[in-house]
Each structure stands twice: as structure tokens, then as C-alpha cells.
Structure 1
Amino acid sequence: MLPPFNIGSHYSQCYTKFLAALALLVFLGKTNSILSRWVANNWTSSDAWQPEREIAIVTGGSNGIGKQIATDLAVAGVRVIILDIHKPSSLPKNDHFYHADVTSSDGIRGIGKRIRAEYGGPTVLINNAGVGYPGSILEKPEIKIRRTFEINTISHFLLVREFLPAMVRQNHGHVVTIASMASFVVAGNMVEYACSKASALAFHEGLSQELKFYYNAPKVRTIVIHPIWVRTEMIKPLDLENSFQQTVLAPEMVSQAVVRQVITQKSGQVILPQSHISFSAVRALPSWLQEKVRNIASQTLKTVRE
């Protein structure tokens, strides 16, 4: 004769184990988040945030994401300096505009002197300026390939070389890199753009290491932002196509993420939207699965652009 089986007790034990496993996952998730935050911030806390002492440079701040960031920072009480080749249609209070070619080291050097003379040393640098041109490797003009790298990658080096030394001396500041989801997944027809954004990610990571080990400035924060498609002039032709069904963010969402990191003085990496965080792990997948992801991205673009 079989021993009696208590179904209620069995389910109770399963439920208890489930709750214990769930609690463990929550604990591990929070622990991971805390460790990531403290490691990214070099195990140091920042001084109290004082917006009136902050001066933020926003490249490409006359339209799109940059314009929204400049507006939101100004509302937060930060003095903002926009560097762009295009004059903004309007300037909020606390915002100032300088006509600038971010690919010119001489031009940046001259503007840097003017900014320091008029306002003091910038404490926040937001490398936002970016371009992207549709077209395959064989059909794209060389001048557009070079310009993509000059604006999306090389300008980061030039601007940091001009404005970082003062931050290092004060051990206070923030460098924001606007990268892209394309840092992780490259699709055909936008190869040089993806390359430039992968370079921007590498720049952010390398800068973080140099601040820690070469410049002894652990309180100079660095953050890299990886948005998926954003509703700007750059993707307007795609966005107008009914067949384009990808997630498209408003510039406000990207700006909110940037401003939040600046105000809370946090380093790290932000994926937008957060539901797409798995994209950052694509290169950890088996090769065949990586290729499948890239195939889907490429086929989507090809279908829309045809």
C-alpha cells in the first residue's frame, strides 16, 4: 500500500521554493546593480549637486537629441553652451550658442579659449553631434565615410583633449558619449555608422580607464548612452515608411536619461529602451545566432529602403 500523499503540502513546498528562488533572483539583481554602480563610479561618491556651478557643453545642440538635452539641462539650472554648425531656432534661458565645427582641432581650441574667458571651465561635456548616411560600402562616397568617423568618433577625442584637463585638475566633471544600439549590432547599408558608434563605445571605455589609472580623477564621471532609433532628421526617411516597424524613441526619452545621469553624477552605460538591454549581449551569443540577429536587422532595412 502506498503512503498517503498530501497534495496541499506538496504545492505548499513548491510555492515556498518558488518564492525563495524569486527572492534570490531579486537579491542578485539588486546586488548586481549596486556593484555595477559603485564600480563604474570608482567606489567614490560625488559632492552635492550644485547646478549653478555647472557649465555643460552640448555638441550638435541645435536640433534633435542635442537640442532637447540643452533645453532640459537649462531647465535644471545648468548653464549650457551649444556647439553646432547650425544656429538654433531659439535659445532657452541659460543656453548660449557658438558656431563650431567639431572636426576642427584649431576651431575647438579657439572656442575653448573664448568659453573659458567668458564663462569659466566647462564641467560637463556631452558628445552628441552625429551623422549617418544610407548606402552600401561600395556605393557610398569616400567623403561621407570620412565625415561620419570625423564627427561620430574623432570629434570626441578633440573635445576631450580641450576640455577634460580642467575637469581632471578639479577631480569633478562628466563626459557623456552618445553612442547607439548600432555599437552592438551592425546592419548592411549603415556599416560606417555602426563602426563609428562601436568606436564611440570603445572611446568611452578607454577614457574611463585613463581617468582611473593615468589621471587620478576618480570623480570625473563617464556615461555612454545607446539609444535605438530616435525620431530625428537622420532617420526621417525611414520613419515615414509604413513598412518600418522598429521601435522609435522620442528625443525627450534620450534627453531624460542623459540629464538624469548628469544630475545624479553617475557613470555607467544606459541602453534605451531598457527592454532592449539584451542587444548589448549579442556578441556573447554563438556565431550563428549573432549572424541571425544581423540578418534580421539588414533585411529590415533593405525591405524599407527598397
Structure 2
Amino acid sequence: MIRPPRQVSIPPPLSIGLGALACIGLLYKSNSYLSRRALNSPEEKDTWDWDKEIVVVTGGSSGIGAAIVKLFAEQGIKTINLDLCRPHPDAQTENAFFYQVDLTNVEHINKIADRIRSEHGHPTVLINNAGIQWNKPILELPRDKIHATFEVNIISNFLLVKEFLPAMVSNNHGHVVTVASLASFTTRAVNVDYACTKSAALAFHEGLGQELRHIYRAPGVRTTIIHPGWVKTPLIKKLMQSGALRGHLLEPEEVAEAILKQLRSAFGAQVFLPSNFWILSLVRGAPSWIQERIRNLLTTSRGYDHN
């Protein structure tokens, strides 16, 4: 006699939990799809030939920039480093090129951009990565340092886009990457000038995407913004030595790999590193008492409470 298969019943709490997980998974996939569609219209992938693409990265002699230059050059991608400081001799490889440039000097930027176009052709990828940070209270910041922060961290983004975007628009092919920070959403004491420039970088990224779509009619030129948390770079060397930083610190190579992965996808995006830190983007919409508690926590956890 053949017996019917035994029916296995799933306890109600477990059934509800599995259903909730399935819904969360569906919402996550739907959200990712809708975000990609919104940031990439039309969604069809452009054709990228990485043997012919030309990447310009600012601040490529140290930190995240140096990791980008090294990784991209190792992948056979022609990568041009724009920095005031010369890279370490070991960083000079077959596909990496260095041009010394003062990003606070408009005439110097124009001159170097002309050389790049003449010697290499029109860049198809611009990675605005250069950044400086002083970690000083507002009243202790000299005027020249304030100006330098804005000129390097945000004004140079405008100047370099003005140099290299026209050719991308003309060909409807290119990618502009803006390296911002989680400081785009959360400001703490002793970091005000830096956070101001990173909030501006986010606005720059958003507005550039709008202009590419509606003004220049070049949707094939993609835009990506990267929001890393704390990264082991010279910018936070003193904080690391003080022991004030807790939790996971990103390696520059992690950021470089995330940028390369996004470029190879041929889509633009907003990328948070670590990925679960996207939740900090909600801070601006939270009630004021929540916002202030988060800012207070960020400030005191870094040892800046003088009370």
C-alpha cells in the first residue's frame, strides 16, 4: 500500500518570519531596480572598451587616489593622476601617468588639461577624488586653509568638469565619479569646513546628473557618487594614532575596488561604504532631537567634547 507523503506543517511564527524575509528581499530588489532606472535613463548599457578609455583621477599620489591609480593601471586602464605631490616611485607603472597640478590654480588646471588632451586624447572618466581636511574648530582655522578646503574639495570639481565634460557630452559617452563622504549627511564639531564641501559634492553630483539629462541631452554620460566611512588615509592619521576611531576602518583599496566595479557596470549610482551605512542618509529627514543626538555622539566619540 502506497501512503501519501506526509504533510509538513510550518509553525505560524516561522511562517510569518519567512514571509517577512521574502517581502524584505523583494523590496530590496525592487528598490535597487528603481534606483538604477532613475539614475540611468535610458537604462541600456553603453559600450566601454577599457583598452581605449582614459581615466583622470585627482589626488592620486596618496590614500584612496593612489589605490585607484594602482588598481586601474594594473587592469591595463590608462590612468592619469593629477596631484600637487609626486607619487611614490614604485607607483609609476606602464599605464599610470602623473601631471603635477595645483588644483587651487585655475590657469594651471587649464594648462594641464590642454596637455592631457594633446598627449593622450579626451578623457572618458573623471574621478574627482582630491580632498584635504584640517580637523580644527572654525575659530582656529586660518582663512587660507578655509579657502584651500573649498578650492580643492569642491571648486576643482567644477573646473575639471568644465575641461573634460564637453567631449563626453559630444560623444554621449563618459562617467564622472565624485568621491564624497558620509560627512555629506552628518556634520560634527572640528569638521565643519570639510563636511560643508562634502555636502556640496553631493549637490554637485545630483545637479550634474540633472543637467546631463535635461540640458545637455547626454544620458549616456553616467554619474556616480561614493560615500565612504572612515578610510585609512593620511587625512585621519592623527585620529588613528589617538585611538579615537572605533569600529571598522576601510582600506583605500576597498574604495578603489568599489569605484572600478561601478565603472565596469556602465551604470551610475550612489554607493555607500560600508553598504549598510546608507541609513545615515536618512539623518537629514529625522526630527531635530534625533539629528542632534547623532551629531553629539559623533563629536564626543572622537574626543572633542571640551566641557
Same fold, TM-score > 0.5, yes or no: yes
**What amino acid is aligned across from residue 233 of structure 2 in structure 1?**
T
Aligned counterparts, 1:189-268, within 5 A: 189-268=190-269
Residue 90 (structure 2) pairs with residue 96 (structure 1) = no
- Where structure 1 has 5 or more consecutive residues not aligned to the other structure, the ranges are 1-7
Structure 1 position 246, deviation (Å): 4.4
1:261-304 deviation per Cα after TM superposition (whole angstroms, max 9, x unaligned): 11212211111111222111111211100100000011122349
Deviation, 1:107, is: 1.3
Measured in 1, the distance between the counterparts of 2:294 and 2:108 equals: 41
- Structure 1 position 182 matched with structure 2 position 192: no
Q: Kindly provide the amino acid, as one letter, of the partner of residue 194 in structure 2.
A: Y
TM-score after normalising by structure 1: 0.93
1:17 aligns with 2:16: yes
Task: Check whether the contact 2:244–2:303 (CA below 8 A) recurs between aligned residues.
Answer: no
Counterpart Cα distance in 2 of 1:305 and 1:155: 35
Q: Where do 1:97-176 residues align within 5 Å? A: 97-176=98-177
Amino acid at match of 1:101: D
Aligned residues: 299
Please give the alpha-carbon distance, in whole angstroms, between the structure 2 residues aligned to 1:183 and 1:60.
Answer: 19
Separation of aligned partners in 1, 2:301 and 2:15: 45
Distance 1:207 1:241, change over 3 A: same
Which amino acid letter does the alignment assign opposite residue 60 of structure 1?
G
Match of 1:3 in 2: none
CA distance in 1, matches of 2:64, 2:52: 24
How far apart are 1:11 and its partner, in Å? 6.0
Partners in 2 of 1:240 and 1:17 — Cα distance?
48
8 Å contact from structure 1 (residues 244, 304) kept in 2 = no
After superposition, the Cα gap between the structure-2 partners of 1:89 and 1:9, relative to the gap in structure 1 and judged at 3 Å, is closer
User: In 2, Cα distance between the equivalents of 1:48 and 1:217?
Assistant: 15
Deviations 1:210-235 (A, max 9, x none): 00000000010100001111111111
Which range moved further: 270-279 or 238-247? 238-247
CA displacement 1:47-82 (0-9 Å, x = unmatched): 333111100001010111001101111122210111
Q: In 2 relative to 1, CA 243–60 (structure 1 residues): closer, same or farther, beyond 3 Å?
A: closer
Q: Does 1:54 align with 2:53?
A: yes
Query: Runs ≥4 in structure 1, deviation > 4 angstroms?
Result: 8-11, 303-306
Q: 1:39: how far off?
A: 1.4
Match of 2:65 in 1: 66
Letter in 1 for 2:206: E
Give the SS at the match of 1:156: helix
Alignment correspondent of 2:290 = 289
Structure 2 distance, partners of 1:178, 1:287, is 27
- Superposition deviation, residue 179 in structure 1: 0.4
Cα 1:246/1:23, change in 2 over 3 Å: closer
Q: Does 1:43 align with 2:42?
A: yes
CA gap of 1:137–1:303, structure 2 versus 1, over 3 A, is closer
Instruction: State the distance in 2 between where 1:243 and 1:219 align.
Output: 43
Q: Is 1:34 aligned with 2:33?
A: yes
Q: Partner letter of residue 38 of structure 1?
A: R
Q: Percent of pairs identical after alignment?
A: 46
In 2, Cα distance between equivalents of 1:230 and 1:305: 26
Q: TM-score, normalised by structure 2?
A: 0.93
1:117 is displaced (CA, Å) by 1.0
CA 1:27–1:98 in 2, change beyond 3 Å: closer, same or farther?
same
Larger displacement relative to structure 2 (239-248 or 189-198): 239-248
Partner secondary structure for residue 62 of structure 1 = coil
Deviations 1:95-123 (A, max 9, x none): 11111112222111111111111111000
Change (3 A) 1:230 1:14: closer
Instruction: Summarize the Cα distance change of 1:20–1:181 in structure 2 as closer, same or farther, 3 Å threshold.
Output: same
Task: Specify the SS of the correspondent of 2:140.
Answer: coil
RMSD: 1.9
Structure 1 residues 249 and 305: alpha-carbon distance in aligned structure 2, compared to 1, 3 A threshold: farther
